[in-house]
Amino acid sequence: MKGDSRIRGAFNWSISLNYRISALNILKMRVLEQVPKASSEFEEAKKSMKARPLKEYVELAVMYEAFLNSVYSLFENISHFVRLVYPSKNLAWGFSKQKKKFLNNKDLDETYSEILKKTKWYDEINRARAEIAHFLFGLVTISDSSGLGYLIPNPQNRRAGTPERIKINSIEQHVKQTLTNVNQFLKEFADHFLKIIDQNSRTTFVCISSSDTVMGARSYSLKEYLNGGHGVCEHGWQNCSEIDFCRAKKS
């Protein structure tokens, strides 16, 4: 069996989740690098007393939006995984819809429901992301106390729960805290679902490829991977350049 039978395309989902986590970390660093650039540009504009395009300001707003979208994309992927793990529970696509169902019916998975109870921070991010994506772009603001913030003074989204205004006092602190929250969620999520999925089932990973050809692959069980195992070399990869000294057991 190639992977837990409930999780169709387990390899592709694992790659997608890994890339989305990496993207979130990259965007966090990009936002933090952009904050001082935008601050300096603000100060120079104030001194010159001249209206001019604020390039760094716009780039910060764009990167911050990308960061919020990256959080959303990661959690949408997570919701697809949960839906595949629980095929009989008739779960909706989408993290927010799933969260509502788990919180309203803890018998679905009491432990996961408790984990989801601690994700109010995600709801705030999703409201901001939805407004930016579908309605109004926000403004980068500046104050002496908190530095650069973000403001949407009059959100146009009419969904229930949308606040009268969306305000982030400090982009820098919000990005840092968000990543801390995401990492805490991922740890609790992984600790829980590792007990649920089949750790002995195997899925195949490409270990060597050229631009257009797969040259080597090995299959792992989750238990092997977590314990530092080398997996099993798959049949048929005769052109693999690592075949003579690969530490994967020959199948």
If asked whether residues 95 and 48 sit together in one domain, one would say: yes
If asked whether residues 216 and 146 sit together in one domain, one would say: no
If asked whether residues 219 and 165 sit together in one domain, one would say: no
- Given a cut of 90, whether residue 229 has pLDDT beyond it is no
d(CA 83, CA 81): 5
If asked whether residues 138 and 214 sit together in one domain, one would say: no
Q: Answer yes or no: are the C-beta atoms of 85 and 193 closer than 8 Å.
A: yes
If asked whether residues 69 and 114 sit together in one domain, one would say: yes
Q: Answer yes or no: are the C-beta atoms of 140 and 38 closer than 8 Å.
A: yes
**Residue 236, domain member (yes or no):** yes
Which one is predicted more confidently, 168 or 5?
Answer: 168
- Which of 43-52, 63-72, 145-154, 225-234 is predicted least confidently? 225-234
- State both tokens at 116: 């989801």
Using CA atoms, how far residue 63 sits from 33, 60, 166, 172, 175, in Å, is 10, 5, 17, 12, 11
Domain that holds residue 24: 10-193
Looking at residue 1, what is its pLDDT? 34
- State both tokens at 102: 């788990």
Q: Mean pLDDT over residues 227-250, rounded?
A: 64
**Residue 2, domain member (yes or no):** no
* pLDDT, tens digit (0-9, with 9 covering 90-100), for 70-117: 999 999 999 998 998 898 999 998 999 999 999 999 999 999 999 999
